[in-house]
Amino acid sequence: MNLIHLSKQKIFNRKNEVFAYELLFKEGSNSYTGLSNSVKETSQLIMSSISSPELDRLLGKKSLGFVNIDETTLTKGILDILDKDRFVLNILEDIKLDDAIINKIIQYKKRGFMLSLERFDSSAEMLNKFRRLFSFIDIIKMDIALSIPENLEKVVKKFDGTRMQLLAQNIETKEDYKKCQELGFHLFQGYYLDRPEVIEIVGPKEAAQFVILQLIKIIKEDDSANEKLEFFLKKQADLSFKLIQFFNTSEKVNVKVESLTQVINLMGRQKLLRWLMVYLYSELTRNPASKTLLDLAIKRAESMEAEASEKNKDKAYLAGMFSLLGSIFETDIKDLITHINMDSDITSLILERKGIFAGSLMRAEQAEKEYLRKIMIANFDKLYTTDLVNTLEGGGIEIDKNQI
């Protein structure tokens, strides 16, 4: 299990409501670092973790998350997997700004991300350094401990009435808090208001698993997002290679592959979606039974597809595939389904075993159980007691301890 240790500290608005959390990732036993430091070595793991199904537990349903960024973070493209509606890109005060980095920051703003400046000390040097970005910045985190009081007041007045919100950072006392309220700050953060909470979140078993789930989400939700699909595919070289390999061996078209977009267009979205599901089962798990489970999932999906009406065949196939996904990854299927926002017919089947595909799933499961029952009886003497106990108790079947 991949555990990510981090601290989160609340940021409050003028009504004393939680507006956001600042997230800091813990790399050592006694040190906390911003995201930009961790990202150099474990960027994909961390980014996929904070964009995982645990996001709501981490931030709540509505609050934002501030994540620190520097020039390294910006240029590696890893920010693109973040949800622009949940995360604020917090530009570190010591970022090395050049034309390329400034253009990259502006590009993220145009994509819909909120931008903030970290630890702004109200100095003339800081004002000059970020002057080209002020029209794109949403929040300035002004460090009241580092700022000279006269400079702090001047900067607050300078930005008064603009679109930017001013955040008072490092509020240590009741007097600090009162003074910042009087000055007209919009947001507040510091030990006086809230001390960081150290927590753990569970990352995915494989970073590629998250990328594939994002691909599935894009395919289901956006009919015109081939560029997005290509972007995420490029994040996994092995995934891109195997997709092209699959395309070359399965499609009866005499063309040379020039781009992933070309492959996506020629394959069609439904076929790509099915291939991604197969890839999830066969490539991204260490479960020793994954090959058997993959074959079982495909047969179950095909059986349910065959029974479905013409308009529901694709949905029935996906429902069959997803019905075993939780088991193979040893994770809660609720998290996976919720995270990628699947069709309601599929969701109701997987989570509640209800809906238009319920009968089809039960018939498929019954056929599987009848075959497995024969296998188990024929090979009962070869089974280990511990395996039997784990299987029975894992299925909620109570064992009489006095009988064994």
Domains in the chain, CATH or no CATH each: 2-203 (3.20.20.450), 207-365 (no CATH)
Residue 259: the pLDDT is: 64
Alpha helices in 98-236 (DSSP H): 99-110, 124-129, 149-159, 174-183, 207-221, 226-234
User: 205, exposed or middle or buried, with CB in 10 Å at 0-12, 13-18, 19+?
Assistant: middle
Residues 7, 206: contact at Cβ < 8 Å? no
Bridge-based pairing of strands 18-26 and 87-91 is unpaired
Say if residues 81 and 214 touch (Cβ distance below 8 Å). Answer: yes
Residue of 24, 53, 52 lying closest to 39 (CA atoms): 24
Q: Report pLDDT for 312.
A: 87
pTM of full prediction above 0.75: no
> What is the full per-residue pLDDT of the chain (404 aa) written as tens digits?
456 677 889 999 999 999 999 988 655 444 444 443 444 333 444 444 454 555 667 788 778 999 888 887 787 656 765 778 888 999 999 999 999 899 999 989 998 899 999 999 999 999 999 999 999 999 999 999 999 999 999 999 999 989 999 999 999 999 999 999 999 999 999 999 999 988 776 554 455 566 666 677 677 666 666 777 777 666 565 566 567 666 765 555 566 666 667 777 787 777 777 777 666 655 555 556 666 776 787 788 889 988 999 888 878 877 887 787 666 555 666 766 655 556 788 888 888 889 999 999 999 999 989 988 998 899 888 888 887 887 888 777 888 888 87
Q: What are phi and psi of 205, to 5 degrees?
A: -65, -30
d(CA 42, CA 286): 21
* 332-352: burial string, b at 16+ Cβ within 10 Å, e else: ebebbbebbebeebbbbbbee
User: Which of helix, strand or coil describes residue 22?
Assistant: strand
Compute the residue count for the chain. Answer: 404
Structure tokens at 81: 């997997």
The pLDDT value given to residue 66: 92
The pLDDT, as a whole number, for residue 39 is 42
